[in-house]
Amino acid sequence: MLRRLVALALLFAIAFAPSARAQSQRFSLDLARQLVGVSGPRFSPDGKTIAFTVSRPNYTDDRTETELYAVDVATGHVRQLTFERRSVSEPHFAPDGKSLAFLAPDTSGKTQVWLMPMGGGDARRLTHSKTDVAHYSWRPDGGAVAYATEDEETKKEGEAKNIATVDMGDQDIFLRSAIRPQHIWIQPLEGEAKRVTSGTWSLELVLPPGSPPSHLSWSPDGKQIAFARVPVPQTGRFDSVSVQVVDVASGAIHSLTGASRFNNNPEWAPDGKSILYVQPRDGRGDLGWTNEIYVAPPAGGEGKSLTRALENAAGVTKIP
């Protein structure tokens, strides 16, 4: 958490350092057009570099464009890593620090995981998902990534091709098309992707402008993944989200605590002996709840609060 705060402080200092000219000007619409957004800072494993994204408004095409940058921690030197990709997000260094992964659209417009060598060279597409990759996580040995992606739309046959009706759900007033379940896939650095989970249930998903959904957390030995699950593919279903653990080899899934609601953001402990997760105090989802960090054994069992003594009125939203 401290490293992330340091990274954010450094990036904001770089992005918003006032020039002599800017100090002498009043704020105006012209100056507002020059504002940029800085987000997603990630330290390299050796702590010498921070990768991050910079967003700029494109008023001509009425869109925001985001590219990938890196800053040298010691010198503050900033260099741009991607050009004309326009929609880059989620940079993550490989565990060995030799490459940097990020999300960006391919030529068909589908968001994929890309891999850029830090020693120089073009980025290559790592995933070939038929639907957008929502988020991803490096396996601890760096040999693969786990990623979340929506199921493909079921192909219609015969007369069904001409039927355009849809089932109305709880959240369809906010949507233009139905949300399909998201599931876990594994993509090795070389070779074909492997599907790990399936079903009518879904990984936790949150549509903008909500907070990001729970990420995929690998066990240190790379054999299991902890994730947040919801029974139906609907956004923001914190009242029915639970933490589950999947065995990558077999696809077998078990519940971490047996709870079926208000558990999310799992994070595997470095020694592999426990999993941390976020839950409202005493499992109550009342208005004004205080979230706490709990811990439970990976094989399953009752969770225990680690932050009860802090009396944090604001609560916890995510485990760093």
Give the whole-angstrom CA distance, residue 193 versus residue 181.
18
Q: How many CB atoms lie within 10 A of CB 247?
A: 14
Give the whole-angstrom CA distance, residue 262 versus residue 278.
8
SS3 state at 314? coil
- 3-state SS of 170-212? CCHHHCCCCCCCEEEEEEECCCCCEECCCCCCEECECCCCCCC
CB 209 within 8 A of CB 232: no
Residue-level pLDDT, tens digit, the chain, 320 residues: 545 555 555 555 555 454 444 556 788 878 877 888 999 999 999 999 999 999 998 888 888 899 999 999 999 999 999 998 989 999 999 999 999 999 999 999 999 999 999 988 889 999 999 999 999 999 999 999 999 999 998 776 666 666 666 665 666 666 667 789 999 999 999 999 999 999 999 999 988 777 889 999 999 999 999 999 999 998 888 889 999 999 999 999 999 999 998 999 999 999 999 999 999 887 665 555 688 999 999 999 999 999 888 765 455 566 66
- Identify the burial level of 281 via C-beta atoms within 10 angstroms of its C-beta, where 0-12 means exposed, 13-18 middle and 19 or more buried: middle
> Which candidate, 178, 127, 184, 186, places its Cα nearest to that of 153?
178
Q: How far is CA 69 from CA 13, 63, 179, 208, in A?
A: 15, 19, 32, 23
- Cβ neighbors of 101 (< 8 A, separation 6 or more) are 90, 91, 92, 93, 94, 113, 114, 115, 116, 126, 136, 138, 145
- Cβ neighbors of 46 (< 8 A, separation 6 or more) are 97
The tens digit of pLDDT for each residue in 29-71 reads: 788 778 889 999 999 999 999 999 999 988 888 888 999 999 9
- Cβ neighbors of 214 (< 8 A, separation 6 or more) are 203, 204, 227, 228, 241, 264, 265, 266
CA 289 to the chain's CA centroid: 24
Tell me 6's DSSP state: H
Q: What is the pTM of this model?
A: 0.86
What are the structural domains, with CATH classification, of the chain? 1-126 (2.40.128), 200-320 (2.120.10.30)
Q: What is the pLDDT of residue 313?
A: 47
Which residue type is seen at 309? Answer: A
Token pair, residue 203, equals: 């990984």
Give the whole-angstrom CA distance, residue 182 versus residue 86.
25
CB 149 within 8 A of CB 183: yes
∠ CA 277-283-284 to the nearest 5 degrees? 135
CA 203 to the chain's CA centroid: 12
- Identify the burial level of 127 via C-beta atoms within 10 angstroms of its C-beta, where 0-12 means exposed, 13-18 middle and 19 or more buried: buried
The tens digit of pLDDT for each residue in 205-241 reads: 988 777 889 999 999 999 999 999 999 998 888 889 9
Give the whole-angstrom CA distance, residue 176 versus residue 80.
35
User: What is the length of the chain?
Assistant: 320
- 3-state SS of 201-215? CEECECCCCCCCCCC
